[in-house]
Chains A and B, each alone.
Chain A
């Protein structure tokens, strides 16, 4: 019941395009949904996070869309750049858990 399923496993986008990564969760007790970006050899870095009281959050080129009834959320990267090439992880967590449950990750490649 604590799984977070992430898709696609890998994504190739042209520079300037939109990258979309989707996640679905099972645990309705989750009330915190962060996205992390990880470069090879580095630890995950928080990109953007959302709580279920809002349906969308935007920070610069990054937007999270959240659908509570469907138990799904997604990351949209607008105007994708080669520097965005990394592995992206969604996660679920909350006040009942503290720990984060991560998706399997999406390897994003942005071609110049």
Chain B
């Protein structure tokens, strides 16, 4: 049973560019949450997707957007990259949508470096 997978593992971009990160949830899960983890910090919630819609959003600008596909996989898009967007981006999957306290399982993350 595959866990949460993310691609790519590492990514280097320059300021102003756009990036797309991908996530496949754990088998049987239908909810995907994205988190940003800056170096030495705890993960910060970006948004959550359920039934192909954004259900909850953290305190992140509109430059951060996402999508969920019918197979429950998800993408995180970041436009107009800033140096401060450099971080580990984590995808977490769970079952049951935004009002479920089902365990969130995290993927290994994508390390984004903005130069």
Complex: chain A residue closest to B105, CB-CB: A46
Q: Distance (Å) between the CB of B77 and the closest chain A CB? A: 19
Q: Are B101 and A43 neighbours in the complex by a CB distance under 8 Å? A: no
**Main SS of chain B's interface residues?**
loop
Chain A, Cβ-Cβ closest to B88: A43
A residues 29-78 near B (Cβ < 8 Å) are 31-32, 34, 36, 41-46, 49, 51
Asked if residues B48 and A99 are in contact (CB atoms below 8 Å), the reply is yes
Contact B99 A95 (CB under 8 A): yes
Range of interface residues on B (Cβ < 8 Å): 20 to 34
Contact A43–B44 (Cβ < 8 Å): no
Contacts of A7 in B (CB 8 A): none
In the assembled complex, the Cα of A97 lies from the Cα of B56 at a distance in Å of: 8
Is residue A85 within 8 Å, beta carbon to beta carbon, of the partner chain?
Answer: no
Cβ of A45: which chain B residues have Cβ within 8 Å of it? 106
Interface residue from B42, B100, B109 paired with A98 (Cβ < 8 Å): B100
* Chain A residues positioned under 8 Å from B48 (CB to CB): 98-99
1/0 contact string of A84-108 vs chain B (CB within 8 Å): 0000010101111111111111000
Residues of A within 8 A of B (CB): 4, 6, 31-32, 34, 36, 41-46, 49, 51, 89, 91, 93-105
